[in-house]
Structure 1
Amino acid sequence: MSKQLDNIKFAYWVPNVSGGLVISKLEQRTSWDIDYNRKLAQVAEDSGFDYALSQIRFTAGYGAEYQHESVAFSHALLAATNKLKVIAAVLPGPWNPALLAKQISTIDHLSNGRVAVNVVSGWFRGEFHAIGEHWLEHDERYRRSEEFIRAIKGIWTEDNFSFRGDFYRFNNYTLQPKPLQKPHPEIFQGGSSRAARDMAARVSDWYFTNGNTVEGIKAQIDDIRAKAAAEGRTVKIGVNAFVIARDTEEEAKAVLQEIIDKADPEAVNAFGSEVKNAGKASPEGEGNWAKSSFEDLVQYNDGFKTNLIGTPQQIAERIVALKAVGVDLVLTGYLHFIEEVEYFGKNVLPLVRELEAKQTAAAA
């Protein structure tokens, strides 16, 4: 295996919703419009990023007044780039597996095999009610998502596909053309609950976890990988992180403090109430955000907890520590996306590669 294949990968959150990645009134030089996002995708590609993840939101709330639809937006970013893979977030319920499978297969051909999907089981009850979608209890949402993934995999890889589930049924369905990527486009999912991790072990290619300490992430990874091994599978791991890379640690910490100081308390608390209910709804009460503080919730997916906040050297060392416990990809968010993605590519990523090379040499 070549050294390159072992390198940790990097992704960024696509700001296709307004308000950026923090619930703060601090000025952000980030825009949700397509021109900004095309430029960002090109900068990220040139800076060494492997993936971009578009967000799926149907309704306003928590600072996200406007939202572009994820699959169409992902296709636009793919058309503006040459190497970057774009992961389109989708929700079972609004999407039927047949529609999603056909959409993604077409985009896979149009982008020469660079599209992936992130299957989001859903945490925002108000959004489901607003668009007339039935709201399922926590573990039922993951059971539906598992059927959804089994269905799209079957459609992408089999002819005359038939399926009998509690949520979806197919009768001798053959999709043509099938995707370029073999066996199929990569399938991502997130979640921290027992149901989410077990689902990842059984059907997903990638598992996204919220930000956490190295120890907390290791415990999740060890659990998922053991479950996946019992199924004869392997699952790759991505972790969320909000990056504040500055020339000095003091400067980086000051930016973090300013984000928190200028947080929108009403929006943060409303978001916190909704997502904590979702997290605690899991039978074990350990879903995403179940133990998040006010400060954690200022960043949607606990990105501050991962602590990629400091100098390029500090951040590079922490990334390599994440890799050491089994992280395959870091999903990054920023305050000012274009300039900070470029800074990360110039100042952090080369240090990560140097540290990886030293580790490889030491292990040889």
Structure 2
Amino acid sequence: MAHAESDAIKFAYWVPNVSGGLVISNIEQRTNHSAEYNRKLAQIAEKAGFDYALSQIRFTAGYGADEQHESVAFSHDLLAATTTLKVIAAILPGPWNPALAAKQIATISYLTNGRVAINLVSGWFRGEFHAIGEHWLDHDERYRRSEEFIRSLRGIWTQDSFTFRGDFYRFNEYSLKPKPPHPLPEIFQGGSSRAARDMASRVSDWYFTNGNTPAEIAKQVDDIQAKAKANSHSVKVGVNAFAIVRETEDEARAVLAEVIAKANPDAVNAFGHEVKNAGKASPEGEGNWAKSSFDDLVQYNDGFRSNLIGTPRQVAERIVDLKRAGADLILLGFLHFQDEVEYFGKHVIPLVRELENAEAAASLAAE
């Protein structure tokens, strides 16, 4: 008996709408941030069995990413090039306010049959906020603002005469028409800090966390789910990973070694300085990147730590291990996106489905 489709682990990929690829390294990356490359990549990913694509939001250059396309407009372009893929557009409170985001995303949802979602990025780079003249808030205040942002979005999307009195946002009998079609656009958020997890347990549909081992992911998932249950809330978990899948494990490990050997040390250390400050800025000092090594930081979101590096069978088994730890989605980066997304769809996703089916059958037989 096949596993229920709703129980199947989901797959997403990072949209390379930012130059420089997904690693801070001088290794060759056959990846391009052009519209043409990304439209074709979205079509390849859709055919390969990917469920979501996640666009990135940046306002300033740095760390090998000199050029950046705006996330919402770019996401809409990818939606226009596909038919089933969902695209998650990154939104940053400050430059956006909930009224604009609610209307913008409602319209795109209407135009694309409900295939747009958002990733609300609370912000970690103080220099970026300073560059664009946005006020910088303390760590936990940024998450308080994000929570108000999400509560405002939901209120605007579901209520007529929406009124809200927050510390950051206020609405007075506001009615958005037309509202987005149901189901409402999903709301993703990231972070590993206490404030990020607590916010997810109250208001977000999905929680993204940096790459990590199944044991460490399980700790975060157990923490979030216990709090979500106490809040009568439901949240799913996505885990970041950088996949290097080759015919042999030695080949895959050699590619990883080359990525790190060719890392740009100045850029990695500059990135590390900023993100470690961000991670340590949380009251408990446990935010994203707080414990990342130089090698981890070569991939923006600790993707190597998820260990999806090896043969298709090894990678499929490790994905199922992450699923057992509580992951509902794997968010993937690749060195050569078009080629490797296609390869992943042909050689890894079918093995994951086989393993899921076998586990479901075994569970059924044990009942």
Query: Residue 278 of structure 2 aligns to which amino acid in structure 1?
Result: A
Q: Does 1:259 align with 2:259?
A: yes
Q: Using the alignment, how far apart are the partners of 1:213 and 1:319 within structure 2?
A: 11
Q: Using the alignment, how far apart are the partners of 1:279 and 1:22 within structure 2?
A: 20
- What do the CA deviations read for 1:32-54 (whole angstroms, capped 9, x no partner)? 00000000000000000000000
2:353 aligned residue: 353
- What do the CA deviations read for 1:301-343 (whole angstroms, capped 9, x no partner)? 0000000000000000000011111110000000000000000
Q: Using the alignment, how far apart are the partners of 1:158 and 1:257 within structure 2?
A: 53
SS in 2 for 1:88: strand
2:78 aligned residue: 77
1:232 aligned residue: 232
Query: Residue 347 of structure 1 aligns to which amino acid in structure 2?
Result: H
Q: Does 1:139 align with 2:164?
A: no
Q: Using the alignment, how far apart are the partners of 2:213 and 2:12 within structure 1?
A: 19
Alignment of 1:120-135 (within 5 A): 120-135=121-136
Q: Using the alignment, how far apart are the partners of 1:69 and 1:204 within structure 2?
A: 23
Query: Residue 19 of structure 1 aligns to which amino acid in structure 2?
Result: G
The number of aligned residues is 363
Q: Using the alignment, how far apart are the partners of 1:209 and 1:54 within structure 2?
A: 16
SS in 2 for 1:71: helix
Query: Residue 309 of structure 2 aligns to which amino acid in structure 1?
Result: I
Q: Using the alignment, how far apart are the partners of 2:229 and 2:64 within structure 1?
A: 41
SS in 2 for 1:59: coil
Superposition CA RMSD, Å: 0.8
1:241 aligned residue: 241
TM-score, length of structure 1 as denominator length: 0.99
Q: Does 1:103 align with 2:104?
A: yes
Per-residue deviation, 1:181: 2.6
2:323 aligned residue: 323
- What do the CA deviations read for 1:177-200 (whole angstroms, capped 9, x no partner)? 100132x21000000000000000
Asked if structure 2 preserves the Cα contact closer than 8 Å seen for 1:54 and 1:89, the reply is yes
- What do the CA deviations read for 1:61-86 (whole angstroms, capped 9, x no partner)? 00100000000000000000000000
Per-residue deviation, 1:2: 6.1
1:152 aligned residue: 153
Q: Using the alignment, how far apart are the partners of 1:307 and 1:25 within structure 2?
A: 21
Asked if structure 2 preserves the Cα contact closer than 8 Å seen for 1:241 and 1:305, the reply is yes
SS in 1 for 2:19: coil
Q: Using the alignment, how far apart are the partners of 1:224 and 1:237 within structure 2?
A: 9
1:165 aligned residue: 166
Q: Using the alignment, how far apart are the partners of 1:225 and 1:235 within structure 2?
A: 7
Asked if structure 2 preserves the Cα contact closer than 8 Å seen for 1:108 and 1:181, the reply is no
Q: Can you give the 5+ residue segments of structure 1 that lack an aligned partner in the other structure?
A: none
1:93 aligned residue: 94
Per-residue deviation, 1:27: 1.1
Asked if structure 1 preserves the Cα contact closer than 8 Å seen for 2:118 and 2:186, the reply is yes
Alignment of 1:191-230 (within 5 A): 191-230=191-230
Q: Using the alignment, how far apart are the partners of 2:325 and 2:213 within structure 1?
A: 11
2:308 aligned residue: 308
Q: Using the alignment, how far apart are the partners of 2:294 and 2:324 within structure 1?
A: 29
Asked if structure 2 preserves the Cα contact closer than 8 Å seen for 1:214 and 1:325, the reply is yes
Percent identity among equivalent residues? Answer: 75
Query: Residue 36 of structure 2 aligns to which amino acid in structure 1?
Result: D
1:333 aligned residue: 333
Q: Using the alignment, how far apart are the partners of 1:129 and 1:32 within structure 2?
A: 26
Query: Residue 289 of structure 2 aligns to which amino acid in structure 1?
Result: W
SS in 2 for 1:269: helix
SS in 2 for 1:58: coil
Q: Using the alignment, how far apart are the partners of 1:155 and 1:12 within structure 2?
A: 29
Per-residue deviation, 1:5: 1.4
SS in 2 for 1:346: helix
Asked if structure 1 preserves the Cα contact closer than 8 Å seen for 2:3 and 2:356, the reply is no
- What do the CA deviations read for 1:256-294 (whole angstroms, capped 9, x no partner)? 000000000000000000000000000000000000000
Q: Using the alignment, how far apart are the partners of 2:217 and 2:195 within structure 1?
A: 17
Query: Residue 128 of structure 1 aligns to which amino acid in structure 2?
Result: F
4+ residue runs over 3 A deviation: none
- What do the CA deviations read for 1:8-46 (whole angstroms, capped 9, x no partner)? 000000000000000001111000000000000000000
Q: Using the alignment, how far apart are the partners of 2:295 and 2:20 within structure 1?
A: 17
1:292 aligned residue: 292
Alignment of 1:263-282 (within 5 A): 263-282=263-282
Q: Using the alignment, how far apart are the partners of 1:325 and 1:213 within structure 2?
A: 9
1:52 aligned residue: 53
Q: Does 1:29 align with 2:35?
A: no
Query: Residue 267 of structure 2 aligns to which amino acid in structure 1?
Result: A
- What do the CA deviations read for 1:332-360 (whole angstroms, capped 9, x no partner)? 00000000000000000000000000001
Q: Using the alignment, how far apart are the partners of 1:137 and 1:164 within structure 2?
A: 21
TM-score, length of structure 2 as denominator length: 0.98
Query: Residue 87 of structure 1 aligns to which amino acid in structure 2?
Result: I
Q: Using the alignment, how far apart are the partners of 1:151 and 1:233 within structure 2?
A: 17
SS in 2 for 1:299: coil
